[in-house]
Amino acid sequence: MSARTFTRPGMNRLAAVELRKAIDTRAGLWLQIAVGLLTLLAVGVVVAVGNDEDRTLQSVLNVAIQPATLLLPVIGILLVTSEWSQRMALITFALVPQRGRIVVAKILAALGLGVVVYVLCVVLSLLGAAVAGSNDPDRWDLSAALLGGTAIYLLTAMTQGVAFGAAIRSSAPAIVAFFVLPILFALVGEIRPLHDAFGWLDLTRTMDPLANGESLSATEWARVGTSLLLWMVLPLGIGITRLLRGEVRA
């Protein structure tokens, strides 16, 4: 057998593979179908029964991205946890021993999926608004703040999903933690002496203005940053440390 030389698979290819892995299983398929159907349903309801104010592009888009922001991070979670719970890790890391590259590829895949779904939501919203034919004079207005804010909202949620998956490694606990921890955290934040501090840490509160398309002040951006440190960067750090130091067992 003659000597051959091989090159390392590029990050583009690894990200494309991870994107494929996110959607080629039965669970991934059903999640996409669920997101698609719920989005159609949400837009349909607004278009059908909303008043003129509800049927503006801005308002339709606001509704259209809700199912995606809620459910798409689960794909991000499963993208990592399936390596462990579905025992893919032996194959994945035997093919790509630089484990950190796989984490980067998974984040890129999650972001890529988020961007595609986001664009589809915008297109669907445009169609919805056109069909709705609202008489509101601002019906075609779309602020850059809303576009940017909702996009950031969706993409950070995707990354957060990957981070929770990496830190917890087991699908059901990671999904429960992803949905329940913020609620518990918000409840604790209702305790009077903690309320102000939690304004910097409670992701639901800090992200709210972004999701609503408001223009953020420097302080509000700082709040977004600190809360993301807690909910996105910290679990990601824990996950990467576990991965790089630990044994790959599946």
Partner 1 sequence: MIEAQGLSKRLGGRLVVSDVSLRCEPGTVTGFLGPNGAGKTTTLRMLCGLSHPDAGSATVLGVPYAQLPNPGREVGVLLDAAAQHPGRRGREALAVSAQTMGVSPARVDELLDRVGLERSAARKRVRAYSLGMRQRLGIAHALLGDPRVLILDEPANGLDPEGIRWMRELLRDFADRGGTVLLSSHLLREVEMVADRLVIIANGRIVAAGTRAELLSNVGSTVVQATDAAALGAALSAAGLAAQASGADGAYVVDAEPEAVGRAALDGGVVLTRLGPSESAGLEDLFFDLTSGSDA
Nearer to partner 1, 88 or 126 (CB): 88
Number of neighbouring beta carbons within 10 Å of residue 191: 9
Span near partner 1 by CB under 8 A; candidates 96-104, 179-187, 192-200, 202-210: 96-104
Binding-site residue total for partner 1 (CB under 8 A)? 35
- Report the C-alpha gap between 150 and 122 in whole angstroms: 11
Angle at 9 between CA 238 and CA 155, to 5 degrees: 45
Q: What is the DSSP secondary structure assignment for residue 117, as one 8-state letter?
A: H
Pull the structure tokens for residue 136.
């509101």
Distances from the Cα of 176 to the Cα of 114, 161, 184, angstroms: 21, 11, 12
1 near partner 1, judged by CB under 8 A = yes
93 near partner 1, judged by CB under 8 A = yes
13 near partner 1, judged by CB under 8 A = yes
Nearer to partner 1, 12 or 215 (CB): 12
Nearer to partner 1, 31 or 117 (CB): 31
Site string for partner 1, 109-148 (x = CB under 8 A): ----------------------------------------
Q: What is the DSSP secondary structure assignment for residue 35, as one 8-state letter?
A: H
Span near partner 1 by CB under 8 A; candidates 7-15, 48-56, 58-66, 197-205: 7-15
Cβ contact 190:104 at 8 Å: no
108 near partner 1, judged by CB under 8 A = no
Span near partner 1 by CB under 8 A; candidates 10-18, 117-125, 141-149, 190-198: 10-18
Cβ contact 174:168 at 8 Å: yes
96 near partner 1, judged by CB under 8 A = yes
Pull the structure tokens for residue 125.
């919203």
Nearest approach in angstroms of CB 92 to partner 1 is: 8
Residue type, 184: L
191 near partner 1, judged by CB under 8 A = no
86 near partner 1, judged by CB under 8 A = yes
- Report the C-alpha gap between 229 and 223 in whole angstroms: 10
Distances from the Cα of 230 to the Cα of 30, 57, 73, 190, 211, angstroms: 30, 33, 17, 18, 19
Nearest approach in angstroms of CB 34 to partner 1 is: 15
Query: What are the residues binding partner 1 (CB under 8 A)?
Result: 1, 4-9, 13-14, 16-17, 20-21, 24-28, 82, 86-91, 93-98, 247-250
